[in-house]
Structure 1
Amino acid sequence: MFICLSCNTRSLRTMWFIISLLIYALFSPCVQGANDLTVKLEQGYVRGYIDPDGGFYAFYGIPYATAPTGDQKFKAPLPGPIWQDTLEAVDNTIICPQNDPFKVISKNMTIKEDCLIANVFVPDTKEKNLPVVVYVHGGAFQLGYGNLFTYKRLARSKRVIIVTFNYRLGPHGFLCLGTEDVPGNAGMKDQVALLRWVNQNIAKFGGNPEDVTIAGYSAGSSSVDLLMLSKSAKGLFHKVIPESGASTAAFSVQTDPIESAKEYAKLLNYTGTGSIVNLEKYYKSLSYDTLMSADVMYRRDSVFLMSPCIERKKSKEFFLSESPDNILKSGAYPKVPILYGFASMEGLFRVGLFDEWKQIMNDDFEAFLSPDLEFESDDQKRKVTRKIKEFYFGQSTIDNDDIYGYINYFTDVIFAYPTLRAVKLHVEAGHNQIYLYDFSFVHDELPIIPHTNIRGADHCSQTNTVSDGFLGTNYTNSKLEEMRTLTRSIWLNFITTGKPIPEDSELPPWPPVGKNWSPHMSLDLPLSLRGSLLKDRALFWDQIYEEHYRQPIPPPAAQHTEL
């Protein structure tokens, strides 16, 4: 009898233990195995796995929204799907439709129309309520995908959760006609949908939805700079890291979206009337292969046609209804901490075209002016063009000795001046939490600049240093590893505290930027706090833009006059 009672007691204990495990599995948002982690979302269960090198769990390919299809494909995203079985989050091959003239996309990637997926990297730690960083990929709004850069080293710090994701690209994401079916900014609305998904779900992965940093490189940098100004993203982020790209750049916002739509359509052999109604009909009729086939990456005016736009205020859910310039001047945006900067020779990304373009610049420099400049007459345009050309190249013919002027011109026009212009407007609006930097670090494995004997910090060099490195640039040397350690510590400190350098650090103190773009930190070995950043070049462009800035406009209302 005693033995029988003992057996029953043990059986009851075992039964209740099993029941408690089942209850825990049903109601706990997070269940951890030896090599996997299962998380319960509103959409269903999702299972990620420990990285092969350890340190964090990787969740790939979680649908955060649904891309509309057919005639609706240019609209805002729809809610994400719901699933019954546990989603094995292992597919890291999904990308959005795109053209890839640079051949940076791996052959194992799969283009899908419904491509709106998120990747979540969760440290292998018992700590909860971790800060979150959402990285927006670059690619001129034309190409790329969430894991074009990876951040495994940051994840292994066990201090942050990292989210990357896809958004619609090119005309698929940024055709802007101002109509009900093609209102514009589909790609930016994807980004807002992702931030809402993070807000609703990241706590279940162990993250803090009230401590989200949005970061991005190149077009991703412009994206987070624009998200900061959009009312639709308000409250979804708390710190911002734009890496080489600003909201005020001509490539970041279409100056005239209907003209952009016409010009892009002509690259696809469009021969229609050019009315909004006709353009909409034409774009809706195209296959994805045709829609994405135009190559806009080598334009001399430094824009890429399909990018964010100012929407008509009558749009049902607009992302941006005023220009970044006007929003910054109004001060009507959340003044969260910003770690803001660029590489010292961003224009190196155009150096491969120097031998071809130097002669074209001699013959027709006007072709290289940004479309966000306007002039009262052709004579005025010629005078300003000459002024700009002489500022960078002097009065002589552009030749190989002018490679630095060439690099500086594209550095300033596309990246440096828009950033400095935005910083100036922020400061004038009372923003006092901006940490400005210039990334100037180079190492001996970088290529020598043509026609020189030096190396330079190329476009998004800081991103290359913070991340695990770009495809084909896996340099390894002690100096670079020292810089990576330093830069990652700065980024992590900003993500976790809102300041790039702790007060008790042995590194130089880094105060927020004030007037005249001062002070700024030179990111090199060693770090160096300096005064005004590119003051002479910024003041030169200030004068140009004060007199000739062309505000971006929304598309007009469509006139339904065609049969």
Structure 2
Amino acid sequence: MLWHMLVVCSFAAIVSGRSTSDSLLVNIEQGPVKGYKPSQGGLYVFYNIPYATAPTGTERFRPPLPPPTWTEPFEAVQSKIVMCPQGMPNWNANQENRIQMQEDCLIANVYVPDTDEKNLPVIVYVHGGAYQLGHGTDMEATTLVKTRNIIAVSFNYRLGAHGLLCLGTKGIPGNAGMKDQVALLRWVQSNIAQFGGNPNDVTIDGWSAGASSVDLIMLSKMARGLFHKVIPESGSNTASFSVQVDPLANARNVAKELRFNDIDNIDALENFFLNAPIDSLWSVNVFTSKNSSVVFSPCIERDIGEEMFLDDHPVNILKSGDYPKVPMLYGISEMEGIFRVGFFGLWRNAMNEKFSDFFPEDLEFEDENERNEVASKVKQFYFGNEPVGENNILSYVDYFTDVMFGYGTARAVQLQVEAGNNQIYLYIYGFADESEDYILHTNVRGATHCAQTNAVMDQGDESKLSAENQKIKAVMRDLWGTFIKTGKPVPEGSEYPAWPAVGVNRAPYMYLNSKLELRGSFLGSRATFWDDIYSKHFRMPVPPTH
């Protein structure tokens, strides 16, 4: 169960009831769809609308196909949670009974406020889960929808090897799951006006791997014109886990784990994956990598004459400036690395024995001596002359905060500002409620991975939350709702402190806690420390070559 908790920000879905006397019928391109008011009222929810068709059989790794059509009203309800195939945690029987896992899993959920207004702003949520887990209703934003008159869309996309195996062949070109995400945005363009939404005012928002996704979508030529604002929460397109460094090597390693040995023959390798039972693709553990990689993430594609989601590395695209400079609400939580505290007992000795094993995958060195020299420098920066241990676990948290989420955000923001984007509103979220557990071996609480997402999204019966927690949730919904509507989190004359866009040297940023505070350079010396290392040792990811 531990690994599952470490890679998913939240996994609490709502299976809503419906009232046949309180429904809304909408005609979309595929046919009529009927959504229902949930018990709390104030909005209509349309669950499980097919937005595309996932190819199956030996076509399963190909781009998505058009969705089905119908003539009778489609009952857009959620009797079970539809999920794309994925490695399952140890859920109890009751939870399993609520799940319907299937290959053709490309469904959208639309949340519409109960209003006669039209041309409403739209937010599209991309769920997290390390590109291996999750589904569209992992977290829901019904409060934001009801109180801010915003239409929200969530959806499933293919995960793990099913969505991100990348051989650069006709059968397995790569990035199928990312092409699902683009297909969803195209579906929104074609259909959201029928729900009362404005297709020319679409914000894309994601958390963790979903943040990485929306940041990559921003750079993809496939997605031009499909969005107008971006909110990456705890993830970035330059994070070390966002792009496979060597997708062909990853595919070969997984094939070997599955006892296939003819890995250097690309045709045989393709044939093996095309015919492997889909369940077998989740039998290889990709969650405990010391180097913070997740094996199956987006890839730079090999040009085989088809539409490509990603044709170059994000660093190169950002430096070129060839992407839309749109408003962004961009940031992390203060202690993202709490995400890795569950591994502390397993890793502390290994970090003292060979710290370089915990370097991000996208670093390279001339030889082992250079690697060890840099490892010594990094370990000294975070832990001083002390071994990694109970007394400095907060430094352990800082290290994983930076190498997994913080530095990627700092790097991408700097590149964007240099490319001319003057509409990025940068933040660090620091609120931790008194009900939160202390960090292991400390009396300190902190804002963990995706804490800001949990603050904006629904959280059960919120009347039971502390007054301070309720207050920060209201503030976060104000800021996020204002950004979705205007492209700025704080308008002129607001009760909140002025929040200018970030400029050179990654300053300023807003520190979001019980009190909002504008601060100087994002991550300070920690960011500039990694600037120096990446300037010398960055390993540029490559497309599959054969």
TM-score, with length taken from structure 2: 0.94
**Shift of residue 314 of structure 1?**
3.1
Residue matched to 1:483: 472
Within 5 Å, give how 1:381-392 maps onto structure 2: 381-392=371-382
Deviations 1:166-207 (A, max 9, x none): 000000000000001100000000000000000000000000
Residue matched to 1:252: 242
Residue matched to 2:425: 435
Name the SS of the counterpart of 1:367 in structure 2.
helix
Residue matched to 1:152: 142
Which of the residues 276, 293, 306 maps onto 1:303? 293
Within 5 Å, give how 1:197-276 maps onto structure 2: 197-276=187-266
Task: Indicate if the aligned counterparts of 2:170 and 2:304 stay in contact, CA closer than 8 A.
Answer: no
Change (3 A) 1:379 1:474: farther
Change (3 A) 1:102 1:140: farther
Which of the residues 174, 179, 198 maps onto 1:189? 179
Residue matched to 1:523: 512
Residue matched to 1:95: 83
Q: In 2, distance between residues paired with 1:456 and 1:267?
A: 38
Name the SS of the counterpart of 2:39 in structure 1.
coil
TM-score, with length taken from structure 1: 0.91
Task: Indicate if the aligned counterparts of 1:77 and 1:186 stay in contact, CA closer than 8 A.
Answer: yes
Matched-pair identity in %: 53
Residue matched to 1:509: 498
Name the amino acid aligned to 1:545: Y
Q: In 2, distance between residues paired with 1:337 and 1:111?
A: 36
Task: Indicate if the aligned counterparts of 2:48 and 2:109 stay in contact, CA closer than 8 A.
Answer: yes
Task: Indicate if the aligned counterparts of 1:218 and 1:244 stay in contact, CA closer than 8 A.
Answer: yes
Q: Quick check: 1:55 aligned with 2:37? A: no
Q: In 1, distance between residues paired with 2:277 and 2:263?
A: 20
Which of the residues 52, 58, 67 maps onto 1:65? 52
Name the SS of the counterpart of 1:340 in structure 2.
strand
Which of the residues 39, 42, 46 maps onto 2:26? 39
Following superposition, which runs of at least 4 residues in structure 1 exceed 6 angstroms of deviation?
A: 472-475
Name the SS of the counterpart of 1:78 in structure 2.
coil
Name the amino acid aligned to 1:88: E
**Shift of residue 33 of structure 1?**
8.9
- Paired residues, number: 525
Residue matched to 1:82: 69
Name the amino acid aligned to 1:490: L
Which of the residues 496, 520, 528 maps onto 1:539? 528
Which of the residues 434, 437, 445 maps onto 1:447? 437
Name the SS of the counterpart of 2:307 in structure 1.
coil
* Aligned Cα root-mean-square deviation (Å): 1.7
For structure 1, the residue ranges without an aligned partner over 5 or more in a row are: 1-31, 558-563
**Shift of residue 273 of structure 1?**
3.2
Name the SS of the counterpart of 2:317 in structure 1.
helix
For structure 2, the residue ranges without an aligned partner over 5 or more in a row are: 1-18
Which of the residues 383, 399, 405 maps onto 1:393? 383
Task: Indicate if the aligned counterparts of 2:255 and 2:263 stay in contact, CA closer than 8 A.
Answer: no
Q: Quick check: 1:117 aligned with 2:107? A: yes
Q: In 1, distance between residues paired with 2:282 and 2:319?
A: 36
**Shift of residue 101 of structure 1?**
4.0
Name the SS of the counterpart of 2:426 in structure 1.
strand
Name the SS of the counterpart of 1:37 in structure 2.
strand
Name the SS of the counterpart of 1:525 in structure 2.
coil
Task: Indicate if the aligned counterparts of 1:180 and 1:315 stay in contact, CA closer than 8 A.
Answer: no
